[in-house]
Amino acid sequence: MPERRLSELARVLSIPSGIVSSDFPKVEKAARRMGIEYDLWQKGLLYLMFGRREDGLYACGEGGAVISICRQVGKTFTIGSAIFILCAGRKDLKVLWTAHRTRTSDETFQTMCGFARNKQMTPYVDHIRRANGQQEIAFRNGSRIMFGAREQGFGRGFDAVDMEIFDEAQILTVKALNDMVPATNVSPNPLIVMMGTPPQPGDPSEQFSQKRADGLAHTDGMLYVEFSADRDADPDDHEQWAKANPSYPKRTRETAILRMRKMLGGVDNFRREGLGIWDEDTTTSAIDPKQWAAGTVETPDLKGRVAYGLDMPPDRSALAIAAAVRHDDDTAVVIDAQSPAMSLVPDLRKQHIKVTITQTRDLGAATGRTLDMIHAGTLQHLDADHQPQLNTAALNATTRPIGQSGAFGWNKTGGDIDISPLVAVTLAAYGTTITKRNPNRRQIIGGA
């Protein structure tokens, strides 16, 4: 069978405009001296990833290179070898390579150390640091590749970084990106690479999912490559394996995929990680739109037990304040311990406002209770015209597992959705169930 090109293998291929040259020819020449011969699809991928426009900047420098790919393809070897060669040949190149899990980061580091032992590359390597949390390959020309796991907090405090490789991008939080991406701001020609498998339900995958949406829309300034089997693929069909995995059967053996098929714990996981198939892009809200609309009232009854909930989106771009009234009798202010709104607690306490801080168990109970009330028709709210932010949040929220007891909290269905108004309402409703103060009792602020 003739070798197929990247454009023939990728289910989705979105190429940035204006590519006139690439770093890849020099990389390929050095790779051959090392005994590495890239497959045709790998050549295409690396050519585009390192493609430059006429001004010399990377064509995907603005939006990054994003790769959705199944396991057992050899992506770490492909991209890792190219990054290693670039560092060996270019002065003072600083690279951060990060995975979500420590185990994945360690395995990548060991693979890269293997390149350093190649007799063609050894003269270019100055030293290798193996200490946990400080793993690094340093080159004689001043270039460095540093490795670490995001679960251990790796990525904060760096500056003047030229390239960042986000492995396991399906588990990539907004906070991790906020910690790391600004480190490339002073680089004259930065490049960010994200690669991962389709996310599982509950994974913090908003960033990866949004990048995929941009790729499917063929947004310019980024490279997006997706390898996957057909959506209705038979998981045991070897032809579908070949569609999903460009290295099968030439480099990835049948036994490796069979092992995944048996060990991944269910056909859905194999569809994602073994076949590269994303879950249906029809994620619906956990809140039934009809039930939500049924709770609309024109004039709310404000007599009763009052509580306030506060929440913020991760980027702190807004503050959501919700008030809830329970119609059987105090005022409570409730903030979840994991919310960015925790930064408001000292100021509230200076004003002698008692703040209730919820933990994981409390938040799970509050979310479940709010959902039950919506289903039962006992949660009332203003209409979408009066509360558009809350309405948008409610109709674009799903759930995510939290803790170890089966509890769940709210999650958003897209990267541009702000669910903090719904979280604030949930906390406020919870507050009405825990406060005992009579709202008609006069409150004295500032002491006796």
Which residue segments constitute the domains of the chain, with CATH numbers given?
A: 6-273 (3.40.50.300), 289-434 (3.30.420.240)
CB 275 within 8 A of CB 241: yes
The pLDDT score that the predictor gives to residue 330 is 53
Strand, helix or coil for residue 74: coil
Is the pLDDT at 266 greater than 80, yes or no?
no
The pLDDT score that the predictor gives to residue 441 is 45
CA separation for the pair 98, 152 (Å, rounded): 10
CB 252 within 8 A of CB 258: no
CA separation for the pair 143, 117 (Å, rounded): 17
Q: Which residues contact 48 (CB under 8 A, 6 or more apart)?
A: 6, 15, 16, 19, 22, 59, 60, 65, 223, 225
pLDDT band per the 50, 70, 90 thresholds, residue 316: confident
The pLDDT score that the predictor gives to residue 284 is 57
Sign of the torsion angle spanned by Cα atoms 113, 115, 119, 124? negative
CB 80 within 8 A of CB 115: yes
Buried-exposed string 394-417: b where 16+ CB fall within 10 A, e elsewhere? bbbbbbbebeeeebbbbbbbebeb
Instruction: Name residue 66's amino acid.
Output: V
CA separation for the pair 105, 134 (Å, rounded): 12
Sign of the torsion angle spanned by Cα atoms 342, 317, 386, 291? negative
Is the pLDDT at 442 greater than 50, yes or no?
no
CA separation for the pair 42, 386 (Å, rounded): 53
CA separation for the pair 378, 372 (Å, rounded): 9
Buried-exposed string 193-225: b where 16+ CB fall within 10 A, e elsewhere? bbbbbbbeeebbbbbbbebbebbeeeeeebbbb
Average pLDDT of the residues of the chain: 87
On the CB side of 249, CA atoms within 13 Å amount to: 8
Q: How many residues does the chain have?
A: 448
Q: Could you tell me the pTM of the whole model?
A: 0.67
Q: Which two tokens stand for residue 359?
A: 């933990």
Is the pLDDT at 328 greater than 70, yes or no?
no
Instruction: Name residue 123's amino acid.
Output: P
The pLDDT score that the predictor gives to residue 55 is 97
pLDDT over 70, % of the chain: 93
The pLDDT score that the predictor gives to residue 444 is 31
CA separation for the pair 83, 97 (Å, rounded): 10
Q: For the segment 368-427, what is each residue's pLDDT rounded down to a tens digit? A: 888 888 888 888 888 877 888 888 888 888 888 887 667 888 887 665 678 889 988 898
Q: Which two tokens stand for residue 323?
A: 């008030």
Q: For the segment 160-213, what is each residue's pLDDT rounded down to a tens digit? A: 899 999 999 999 887 788 888 888 988 999 999 999 999 987 677 878 988 999
The burial of 275, by beta-carbon neighbours within 10 Å (0-12 exposed, 13-18 middle, 19 or more buried), is given as: buried
